[in-house]
Amino acid sequence: MIKEQIRIACDVKDTLDYKLIKPLQGNYKKRTPEQIDKLCRVIIKRGIRFPSFIAKIDGEIWAIDTHGRLLAYEKLEKDGYQVPEIPVVYIEAKDKAEAKQILLECDSRYGKTNQQGFNDFISDLDTDFLRDIEIPDIKIDFDEAEPNSNKIK
């Protein structure tokens, strides 16, 4: 039984069945089941807000920036959700080696998020949505002493 169709929440020129996309990164990143669950909750709540960056090389479609989402889409379907064709953006790459370089460019951070800057940035937001967010080097810790608290410690 299908629970509901996942909503697309961005506008792009192309869409594609996610099952046609091959993962490129191998063991570059590891994701825990809890991280995939968080990503699934975000997709269920907010829809697919970001296109997947992919490269078409020798007739095959390779993931540049979408590996975690591919795992989430698969889990969502197993859990009974209907995943539509996903929004994609084709990135030019002449071969897999160049696609890997592009993946590293896409994953690069040209700045570091710091805890105080993060806290200042979110100070005027309802922070409940942060329960499903992960940002490297940032501690997002809710005050669980207060029942139903959305207050960050």
Its domain, for residue 145, covers 111-153
Residue 124 is assigned to a structural domain of this protein: yes
Number of domains in the chain: 2
State whether 144 and 100 are in the same domain.
Answer: no
Residue 134 is assigned to a structural domain of this protein: yes
Q: What is the DSSP letter of 85?
A: P
Confidence bin at 73 (pLDDT 50/70/90): very high
> How many other CB atoms are found less than 10 A from the CB of residue 59?
5
State whether 132 and 100 are in the same domain.
Answer: no
Q: What is the mean pLDDT of residues 26-39?
A: 93
State whether 115 and 86 are in the same domain.
Answer: no
The model's pTM is: 0.85
The CATH number covering residue 40 comes to: 3.90.1530.10
Residue 98 is assigned to a structural domain of this protein: yes
E strand spans, 14-58: 14-16, 21-22, 52-57
Residue 2 is assigned to a structural domain of this protein: no
Is the predicted pLDDT of residue 97 greater than 90, yes or no?
Answer: yes
